[in-house]
Amino acid sequence: MKNIVLLGSTGSIGTSTIKVAEDLPGEIRLVGLAAGGNADLLVEQARKFGVAQVSINNPSKVAGVKAAMGSTAEVSCGTEGLLKLATLPEADIVLIAIVGIAGLQPALAAIRAGKDIAVASKEILVMAGETVMSEAKKHGVKVLAVDSEHSAIFQCLDDKPPTSVRNLWLTASGGPFRDKQVWPKESFPGITVEKALKHPSWVMGRKITIDSATLFNKGLEMIEARWLFDIEMARVQVVVHPQSIVHSMVEFIDGSIIAQLSTPDMCLPIQYALTYPRRMKSDRVQTNFPAIGTLTFEPPDLERFPALGLARRAGEIGGTLPAVLNAANEVAVDLFVNRRIGFPDITATVTRVMNAHQIVDRPSLDQILAADAWARQEASR
């Protein structure tokens, strides 16, 4: 039995984790839940699994959660609540599914408290990959991948050393605008929020869905893979695979390529992370190859989707530049969703902010946070 703290329990990753906990009641026990503002769902989840330690980010909803859960529950709020849950003595694994910078400090707190962490928030390793992995090594804890792509690489590597790897291949669906005949570059200014939110393969949150449309999502994953698997950026590649059945591949130095395949369902990588190193029975994911028929692959279109080039540049240069890339993109996506800028302006904004940034090499956590704040202000401006 593994005791799990779930930060971000009401989002898409969080609700998938709840399904995994329902499937494996004898293997997984939820001991802490944190949500942003969906108090009703948080209370429902806590009651269902008998969780007494919860946190809600919205201060105005604390009293309501306390009243709904009763006097035996402990209800926290904000960053303080996340840190409290991340360091619960009874927790074995802290699964971090909070979008953005908010997951970074809880991740480090959990590591320093001796907890394994399962990372569904790309920003943690994009912003501070060197710091996080160094702390994990220092404290002897595991950083487990939850993203389907990184889970696939983790499974394919099977503890093989980085020296045995020629390339890591991250697969990308290509997003809703992959077809350049239907969506030439000249048509991008006319892309609406509604069109960008129609992902062809996955059902995800708003931010990550827009990132998949620009391919920033895959760019962030490249940087994340660099740190998770101790592989320099030059050996992290992207290939477009519209069927989203091959979740990623490892190409070894002898020319062999090992891939992990399944019908798209986030319950699978979540379950593997929470039960690792064991594999537990699940009937949620069924893959029918005759029905799928054909698997195709193509190179990414770097001219129409320059986000991949920006991410490679940030990952190769390092320092505070990945944090700036991430922060500027978060602001730009929010501006687009609120119809204040057009679809091509997302990438253009990130480019301008990166070009204006004075890079700090081997930054401290404070310097990373300062770069993040600067990039948000600059992107907004």
Does the pLDDT at position 154 exceed 90? yes
Per-residue pLDDT tens for 207-242? 889 999 999 999 999 999 999 999 999 999 999 999
* pLDDT computed for residue 13 by the predictor: 93
* pLDDT computed for residue 41 by the predictor: 97
Q: Where in the chain does DSSP place strands (E)? A: 2-7, 28-35, 53-56, 74-77, 93-96, 116-119, 143-145, 165-172, 236-240, 246-252, 257-261
Per-residue pLDDT tens for 85-108? 999 999 999 999 998 788 999 999
Per-residue pLDDT tens for 265-281? 999 999 999 999 999 99
Query: In whole angstroms, what separates CA 276 from the centre of its chain?
Result: 19
Q: How high does pLDDT run on average in the chain?
A: 95
| DSSP H or E segment with residue 126 | helix 122-139
Tokens of 221: 């994953």
Q: For residue 368, give Cα distances in angstroms to 120, 121, 209, 262.
A: 20, 17, 26, 37
* pLDDT computed for residue 197 by the predictor: 92
Which domains does the chain possess? 2-145 (3.40.50.720), 150-265+284-309 (no CATH)
This prediction's pTM: 0.93
Q: Is 359 exposed, middle or buried (0-12, 13-18, 19+ CB in 10 A)?
A: middle
Does the pLDDT at position 202 exceed 70? no
